[in-house]
A = this chain, B = another copy of it.
Amino acid sequence: MQSYSSHIPQQRTLMGPGPSDVHPRVLNAMARSTVGHLDPDFIALMDQTKALLQYAFKTDNALTMPVSAPGSAGMEAAFVNLVEPGDTVIVCINGVFGTRMRENVVRSGANAVTVEDDWGKQTDLNKLEDALKANPTAKVVAFVHAETSTGVRNDAEKIAALARQYGCLTIMDAVTSLGGIDVAVDEWQIDATYSGSQKCLSCVPGISPVSFSDKAVEVIKSRKTPVQSWFLDMNLIVGYWGQGGKRAYHHTAPVNSIYALHESLIMLHEEGLENAWRRHARVHDKLVAGLEDMGLEMAVDKAYRLPQLNVVKIPEGVDDGHTRQRLLNDFNLEIGAGLGEFAGKRWRIGLMGAACTDKNVDYCLAALKSVLN
């Protein structure tokens, strides 16, 4: 019979597209003793976690909570709750995650109208307005705030304003934006948004913070058809995560992962949102200066570049796989490969949350210099 032993993972520096370096405080919190998912001790923690997520999303939305699964499930929660079969949804696509949104629309039995822009460019507001005019019965506009596959920041505020002007709800992917750049859910009047724990929150992967506006909640409550997913049905989940002392069992919450999320949100609160954004911007500038000094070229226009995800053109003649393997093996350093049409052509260097430090930039630049020379 095969024998097995405990797994001691490598000690990496995580500068890819996520997971990012998890702070020891967060790892420590996660290892605390498990309590029941209906324990008053845990319910108090749930309430704090919701309040801290409201802070992070800059929202008063009552339905702000973590979905018990990764960001992909958070995305699915937004679509299967807001969209019904036969609805029309306009999806802005300029990378992998816009494409995934369209897939969610189709699997919800709805019609997807796409507004497509080149990877590495922003969603074109004129094209979006044309699509809104051409589809007067469209119910939702869906877009990605920070495209993890391309390093582009879309103009969330303007996209949401345009959608509202044409009477549409908005679904915003904030997986990579939350905690790294401004995400102003109430100010921008976003109706549904979701994020991931493992990006700029620097928590362990596996949890997806979501927030739904009161208008979105009304739409979910007055659906004609049941939500196709029992696990993600917000009408049921509010009985557990909702307001009030009495919580009804829906599913068993991932208690220890919520400990971790709570601790990571406390750390964000301690630093302050604005300070966190400033840190991401400053450290990003340092990384870009260092990369350009080495003759490397950034792939995204400065005007809408994400500080937390730096997409770099792989120089002619450099072997992508070999370079990343040497960084991993010789430096315990992970940077991200290109996704989709950028495979082999781009690197994605993350500066997310706890990984967004001067030390990491110095280390990454030194490692890259060593491997590329």
Whether, in the assembled complex, A226 has its beta carbon less than 8 Å from a beta carbon of chain B, the answer is yes
Question: Interface 1/0s, chain A 260-293, versus B by CB < 8 A?
Answer: 1011011001000000000000000000000000
Q: Is the CB of B52 within 8 A of A33?
A: no
**Segment with Cβ contacts to B, from A65-73, A184-192, A296-304, A305-313:** A65-73
Residues of B within 8 A of A14 (CB): 34-36
Q: Is the CB of B12 within 8 A of A48?
A: no
Interface size (A, Cβ < 8 Å)? Answer: 80
Q: Is the CB of B334 within 8 A of A36?
A: yes
Q: Decide: A37 near B10, CB < 8 A? Known: A249-B339, A252-B205.
A: no
Whether, in the assembled complex, A30 has its beta carbon less than 8 Å from a beta carbon of chain B, the answer is yes
Measured CA separation A328–B36 after assembly (Å): 11
Residues of B within 8 A of A29 (CB): 6-7
Q: Decide: A252 near B73, CB < 8 A? Known: A33-B27, A41-B10.
A: no
Looking at chain A's contact residues, is the secondary structure mostly helix, strand, loop, or mixed? Answer: loop
Residues of B within 8 A of A35 (CB): 9-10, 12, 14, 334
Question: How many copies are assembled?
Answer: 2
Interface centre among A6, A206, A226 (most CB of B within 10 A): A206
**Segment with Cβ contacts to B, from A127-135, A163-171, A228-236, A362-370:** A228-236
Residues of B within 8 A of A39 (CB): 10, 12, 328, 334
CB distance from A66 to the nearest CB of B (A): 11
**Segment with Cβ contacts to B, from A17-25, A56-64, A118-126, A152-160:** A17-25
Q: Is the CB of B4 within 8 A of A73?
A: no
Ordered by A's residue number, 29 sampled pairs between the chains whose C-beta atoms are within 8 Å are A6-B29, A7-B32, A7-B263, A10-B33, A10-B35, A11-B33, A12-B39, A14-B35, A16-B36, A19-B252, A19-B255, A27-B31, A30-B256, A31-B31, A36-B334, A39-B334, A40-B328, A68-B73, A69-B73, A73-B73, A76-B231, A100-B230, A107-B227, A198-B252, A204-B255, A204-B256, A205-B252, A206-B206, A206-B252
